């Protein structure tokens, strides 16, 4: 499209103004003196054409993004804010990490982090609407606030973006400027599960039951657990994320066809994106709904499956920090742990490997030396076994973790540490 050219997108009587990047660039340059904040679709829905344009046109500004992937831009004058840190910004010294459970993040837009611009990548228009597709999350809240403030909404229309229903749908009239840029969506790298992952997956799956409602975090271990549940029936899905594992469960007949699958973002292969496109049984909900602990608690037999980097003898988890540096963030883990524990028959499962092979250290530690992400789960699961902890005394909790979750190579030192921490006693009764 030549510089400055405008044309119109016609679809069943709906008209959307499409512009060139240069037109959008002019609007962004007008905002430059105010150090604008730009909220951007994260995960694998990032509108890269718009991101690179902002970098080129605005000297000083802020990006607000969840789980930034790829070659995220860095230079003097760019500050990235994020409550969930992705691979693209983990080593960014100018990163501003916002420690906050995901259900509360949308409140920031109306308080301390007001948006001036929102960049979204969407489907092409259908019946007067576009869809946020694979990334709904916090975007509806950002869109509402930027409209209220008279800010700018810019869409990158992509014919490869699946059309999903629910809070992901946006009326075309609410988009100020749009460009067309068709490109295949990126996908997370696939890591075949090793023997330990398969054992952990089997242990986690053994805690599932017919009719349960599933929530899965990102990672190899939750996916391994899903692969072991194909024999289940009438399962429901109320999850921050939906991956290929849910698609395979659905095709295996394990998902109840009368229950709508609820998610806030999709994280998977091209095959999964095609499965999601106009799927009436998949509904995308905004973070305030999907991650609301009260809404989670309403789901029958909620089975929340998350992962951690470390767990200590007080059953506190670290899912956020590596060697003292932020790696990810709270995400939705504390929301779903709390919600699942209040669900009738619900369980909050934390899965992790008992031993870190590269460094030769235990992932079950005496006491975390960094911030806590979540605590008070139902069980801790490793390749060593299942350690129940809900309702246990501190002493029995520590004993369960050492005996059933820790690697045998770590048990002697963990026992000594527990003794010095007054977590073990000769008169302690085993409850498992």
Residues annotated catalytic, as ranges: 240
Pseudo-torsion of CA 346, 411, 425, 422, nearest 10°?
-90
* 411, burial (CB in 10 Å: exposed 0-12, middle 13-18, buried 19+): middle
User: Cα–Cα–Cα angle for 235, 236, 239, nearest 5°?
Assistant: 130
Rounded-to-integer distance, Cα 137 and Cα 106, Å: 9
How is 306-357 classified by DSSP, letter by letter? EE-SEEETT--EE-SEETTEE-S--TTHHHHHHHHHHSTT-EEEEE--SEET
Q: Give the three-class secondary structure for 9.
A: strand
CA torsion through residues 50, 53, 57, 59, sign: positive
**CA 371 to chain CA mean position, Å:** 19
Q: How far is CA 159 from CA 18, 109, 152, 400, in A?
A: 14, 29, 22, 52
> CB–CB of 62/152 below 8 Å?
no
């Amino acid at each position: 499209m030549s510089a400055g050219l405008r044309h119109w997108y016609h679809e069943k009587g709906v008209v959307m103004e499409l512009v060139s990047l240069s037109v959008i660039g002019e609007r962004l340059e007008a905002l430059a003196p105010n150090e604008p904040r730009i909220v951007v679709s994260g995960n694998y829905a990032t509108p890269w054409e718009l991101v690179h344009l902002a970098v080129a046109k605005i000297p000083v500004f802020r990006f607000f993004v969840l789980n930034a992937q790829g070659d995220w831009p860095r230079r003097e004058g760019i500050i990235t804010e994020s409550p969930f840190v992705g691979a693209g910004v983990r080593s960014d010294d100018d990163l501003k990490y916002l420690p906050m459970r995901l259900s509360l993040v949308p409140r920031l837009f109306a308080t301390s982090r007001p948006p001036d611009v929102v960049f979204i990548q969407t489907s092409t228009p259908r019946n007067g609407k576009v869809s946020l597709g694979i990334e709904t999350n916090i975007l509806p809240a950002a869109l509402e606030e930027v409209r209220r403030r008279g800010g700018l909404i810019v869409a990158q229309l992509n014919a490869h973006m699946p059309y999903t229903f629910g809070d992901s749908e946006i009326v075309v009239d609410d988009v100020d400027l749009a460009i067309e840029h068709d490109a295949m969506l990126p996908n997370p790298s696939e890591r075949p599960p090793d023997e330990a992952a398969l054992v952990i997956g089997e242990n986690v799956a053994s805690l599932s039951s017919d009719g349960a409602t599933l929530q899965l975090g990102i990672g190899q271990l939750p996916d391994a657990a899903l692969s072991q549940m194909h024999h289940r029936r009438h399962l429901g899905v109320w999850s921050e994320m939906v991956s290929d594992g849910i698609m395979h469960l659905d095709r295996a007949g394990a998902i109840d066809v009368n229950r709508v699958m609820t998610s806030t973002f999709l994280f998977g292969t091209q095959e999964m994106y095609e499965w999601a496109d106009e799927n009436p049984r998949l509904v995308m909900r905004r973070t305030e709904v999907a991650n609301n602990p009260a809404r989670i608690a309403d789901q029958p037999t909620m089975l929340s499956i998350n992962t951690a980097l470390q767990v200590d003898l007080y059953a506190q988890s670290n899912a956020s920090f590596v060697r003292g540096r932020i790696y990810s963030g709270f995400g939705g883990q504390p929301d779903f742990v709390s919600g699942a524990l209040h669900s009738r028959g619900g369980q909050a499962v934390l899965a992790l490997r008992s031993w870190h092979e590269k460094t030769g250290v235990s992932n079950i530690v005496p006491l975390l030396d960094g911030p806590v992400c979540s605590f008070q789960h139902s069980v801790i699961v490793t390749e060593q076994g299942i350690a129940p902890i809900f309702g246990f005394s501190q002493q029995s909790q520590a004993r369960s973790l050492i005996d059933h979750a820790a690697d045998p190579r770590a048990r002697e030192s963990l026992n000594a540490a527990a003794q010095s921490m007054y977590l073990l006693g000769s008169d302690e009764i085993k409850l498992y």
